[in-house]
């Protein structure tokens, strides 16, 4: 079937997890294990490598069913703490998007707007156990005569609340700079003029998809850490693009694969889902994701042994002056605190919290070691060609 010296299956690894015998390490710890022992030995020792990332992920939101009312309502417009939720679904089902601002937000009318409250904040408030004011309007039908509902709800009261994020955990992402003469406000943060700063946004060597760069173990049904609870990869994310130029180690040189993830909001924690306000850009949600990579063979050991100096990304101008990447940098350069762009020393910051990514990888490691988290064998891998 293949020429690997080490061959393990998901069920063999799960059996070891059940018995409390599985060897689990974080992607950071795996670097030295592979360097010191080689990939074959590392694959024979280690069963699972855990990864983590915690950063703004705009393409996120929650499906909420707010329960039938008496008399019943077929809601057509719904607000949660003043934030509109999409109600073009069945009677009391809505989708609340992370980037939706509160209905009377001044937006960018006075630029840059502050975007103090939005869908991401509502999701955080619900998870934190806070009371949220729900308002629903309807046109009224014979079967759903009610035209207006207003009630205070908490996450416990809601019959269903499911976090469903169409695009998370981007496999690699640009490093953003500004070549123009004025400050710009972007989803990559505030970028000062004339290459004033450089913002990047992945956890590099700890990043989930940079540890399975060619999608050989992850797919529909992979169980993951999501927002502090157990969730799932349910599809490849929107804009998933495997056809990006890659390094010999398989890692894409720019944004490539993505994940669509889902989990029960009721089990999640406010520490791991945070509403955020990006000045001049909008609201969003910071999402915590940790993905376990099964070490099925030495190839997976080699992949998960990847370190920051072996991963690159593109430095891009977000002012629109220069369309092509300005240069390519490694994650060790980015993490050192500065890079050189067009002869200028530019200060770098991650936006993605590395220390929280470490925490996620360690929590996931302890769940697997304790036997409370089993690997989900994917029914279908993430697409390698589109």
Q: Which residues bind another protein (CB under 8 A)?
A: 54-56, 112, 114, 189-190, 192, 196-199, 274, 276-279, 284, 286, 335-337, 347-356
Burial of 324 (0-12, 13-18, 19+ CB in 10 A): exposed
Please state the closest distance from residue 164 (CB atom) to another protein, in A. 22
User: Nearer to another protein by C-beta: 177 or 214?
Assistant: 177
User: Nearer to another protein by C-beta: 166 or 350?
Assistant: 350
Taking a C-beta distance cutoff of 8 angstroms, is the pair 103, 84 a contact? Answer: yes
User: Nearer to another protein by C-beta: 79 or 185?
Assistant: 185
> Taking every pair of C-alpha atoms in the chain, what is the biggest distance, in angstroms?
72
Region for 140 from its dihedrals, namely left if φ exceeds 0, alpha if ψ lies in -120 to 50, beta otherwise: left
Please state the closest distance from residue 272 (CB atom) to another protein, in A. 10
Active site residue 175: no
Please state the closest distance from residue 355 (CB atom) to another protein, in A. 5
Please state the closest distance from residue 116 (CB atom) to another protein, in A. 8
Closest-CA residue to 65 (of 41, 95, 108): 95
Is beta strand 132-137 parallel, antiparallel or unpaired with respect to 93-97? unpaired
Please state the closest distance from residue 332 (CB atom) to another protein, in A. 10
Closest-CA residue to 48 (of 263, 225, 240, 249): 225
Catalytic residue among 143, 214, 283, 327: 143
Q: At what angle do helices 354-370 and 27-45 cross, to 10 degrees?
A: 30
User: Nearer to another protein by C-beta: 280 or 305?
Assistant: 280
Please state the closest distance from residue 277 (CB atom) to another protein, in A. 6
User: Nearer to another protein by C-beta: 115 or 373?
Assistant: 115
User: Nearer to another protein by C-beta: 353 or 362?
Assistant: 353
Segment (H or E) for 30: helix 27-45
Whole-number Å distance between alpha carbons of 313 and 333: 10
Burial of 190 (0-12, 13-18, 19+ CB in 10 A): middle
Q: How many CB atoms lie within 10 A of CB 163?
A: 27
| Residue 112: cis peptide before it, omega within 30 degrees of 0 | yes
| Active centre residues (catalytic) | 143
């Amino acid at each position: 079937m293949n020429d690997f010296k080490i061959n393990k299956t998901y069920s063999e690894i799960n059996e070891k997890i059940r018995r409390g015998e599985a060897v689990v390490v974080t992607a950071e710890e795996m670097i030295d294990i592979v360097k010191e022992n080689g990939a074959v030995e590392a694959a024979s020792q280690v069963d699972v490598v855990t990864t983590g990332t915690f950063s703004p992920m705009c393409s996120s939101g929650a499906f909420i069913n707010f329960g039938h009312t008496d008399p019943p309502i077929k809601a057509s417009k719904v607000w949660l703490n003043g934030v509109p939720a999409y109600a073009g679904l069945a009677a009391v089902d809505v989708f609340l998007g992370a980037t939706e601002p509160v209905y009377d937000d001044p937006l960018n009318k006075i630029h840059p707007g502050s975007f103090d409250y939005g869908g991401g904040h509502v999701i955080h408030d619900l998870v934190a156990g806070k009371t949220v004011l729900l308002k629903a309007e309807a046109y009224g039908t014979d079967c759903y005569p009610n035209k207006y509902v207003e009630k205070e709800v908490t996450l416990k009261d809601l019959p269903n609340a499911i976090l469903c994020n169409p695009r998370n955990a981007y496999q690699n992402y640009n490093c953003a700079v500004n070549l123009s003469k004025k400050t710009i406000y972007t989803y990559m943060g505030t970028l000062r003029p004339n290459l004033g700063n450089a913002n990047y946004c992945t956890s590099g060597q700890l990043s989930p998809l940079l540890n399975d760069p060619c999608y050989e173990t992850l797919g529909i049904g992979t169980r993951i850490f999501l927002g502090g609870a157990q969730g799932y990869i349910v599809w490849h994310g929107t804009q998933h693009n495997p056809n990006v130029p890659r390094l010999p180690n398989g890692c894409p040189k720019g944004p490539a694969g993505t994940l669509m993830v889902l989990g029960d909001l009721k089990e999640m924690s406010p520490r791991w889902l945070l509403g955020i306000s990006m000045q001049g850009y909008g609201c969003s949600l910071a999402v915590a994701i940790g993905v376990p990579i099964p070490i099925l063979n030495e190839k997976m050991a080699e992949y998960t042994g990847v370190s920051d100096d072996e991963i690159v990304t593109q430095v891009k101008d977000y002012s629109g002056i220069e369309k092509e990447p300005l240069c390519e940098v490694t994650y060790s350069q980015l993490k050192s605190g500065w890079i050189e762009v067009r002869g200028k020393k530019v200060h770098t910051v991650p936006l993605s919290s590395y220390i929280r990514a470490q925490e996620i990888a360690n929590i996931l490691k302890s769940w697997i070691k304790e036997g409370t988290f089993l690997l989900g064998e994917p029914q279908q891998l993430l697409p390698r060609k589109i």
